[in-house]
Amino acid sequence: MNGGALTSSAALLDSAGPGELIQRAAMLDYVAANHLDVLNQLEVAKVAQANADSAARKARDEQAAAQQAAQAAKEAADAQLAAQQATYEQVSAQKASYDAQLQAAQIHLLQLQGARDAYQAWAAQKAAEEAAAAAAAERAARDAAAAAKQSGGGGRSAGGSGGGGGGDDSGPVAGSGNYVKPANGRVSSCFGARWGVTHYGVDIAAPIGTAIYAATSGVVERAGPATGFGQAVYVLGNDGAVTVYGHVNRYFVAPGERVAAGEKIAEVGNRGQSTGPHLHFEVHTHGQMYSSQINPVPWLNARGVYLGGCGG
């Protein structure tokens, strides 16, 4: 007999009588049953502890895997950022080189045009162009806000900056066919040699704000800041010639817009390399810029438009 059974038997044999024997037997049975319950609870607790340990290990493993994935993602993002930064620095260096080349070319052009201090002239022109662009953006924002407040339709927004100045807006002077005089005013400078360089257009002096008209129908190629002109409008005509309107105070058209002969596209100004308010008007044949300039006066005369002066 094991020790537990021996102890139980000794307790029963030590009873003083049958009643005490029955009482002790019942007590021993209760203790045995309670001991069994405790053992069962202990077993359940052990199973729960084992399950908790397993869940903790699983959570730990999942956390480690998540940390590894996060670290890998961070390393990939860092590598991508480094590559993008290198590309940005390379593009920035290229842009700086191109800007320097463009600046040198513009300064050289001003030297060829007879500027006494080409660099100072370029710096002043650059500042004027930046101011004009900022003012144009501000004006566009104001125009958009004003248009949003109006329930009805509005007119075309004006580009450029600066106020109009009561110039001549009596209407375009028509020539023959689909051509008009680009502005009403006095011819102040002709095509040809001037100050040791070639003047590639004709200047029409007029007060600031005087209307500038499209000399012929076509499509606007450019409108805005332009080297030497401050601001200019370029129109590719239906006949293939490009007409240029320089030193404008404000412009009222946008690239890609179709304009009709006689339509008001800008107003006379005094921007860029200018000695006074005037329109600088150029004509380039065959849609080519800077290589096919011709004297605008005979070109206009042949189309029934006469400026007066310069033989026309």
Q: Would you give the distance in Å from CA 192 to the centre of its chain?
A: 41
Provide the pLDDT confidence category of residue 281 given band limits of 50, 70 and 90.
very high
Which CATH number fits the domain 132-301, given the four candidates 1.20.1250.20, 3.40.50.970, 2.40.10.10, 2.70.70.10?
A: 2.70.70.10
Provide the pLDDT confidence category of residue 95 given band limits of 50, 70 and 90.
confident
Work out the average pLDDT over 219-236: 92
> How much is the pLDDT for 22?
80
Q: What does the domain layout of the chain look like in residue ranges?
A: 1-112, 132-301
> How much is the pLDDT for 177?
73
> How much is the pLDDT for 180?
93
Residues 6+ apart with CB under 8 A from 285: 240, 241, 292, 294
Q: Which two structure tokens, joined as six digits, stand for 83?
A: 């590559």
CA distance linking residue 7 with residue 153, whole number of Å? 111
Output the pTM of the full model: 0.50
Q: What's the Cα-to-Cα distance from 117 to each of 108, 126, 229, 296, rounded to whole Å?
A: 11, 14, 17, 29
CA distance linking residue 287 with residue 231, whole number of Å? 20
Tens of pLDDT, residue by residue over 186-203, are: 888 888 776 667 788 889
Q: Which two structure tokens, joined as six digits, stand for 171?
A: 């209407």
| Amino acid (1-letter code) at residue 212 | I
Provide the pLDDT confidence category of residue 224 given band limits of 50, 70 and 90.
very high
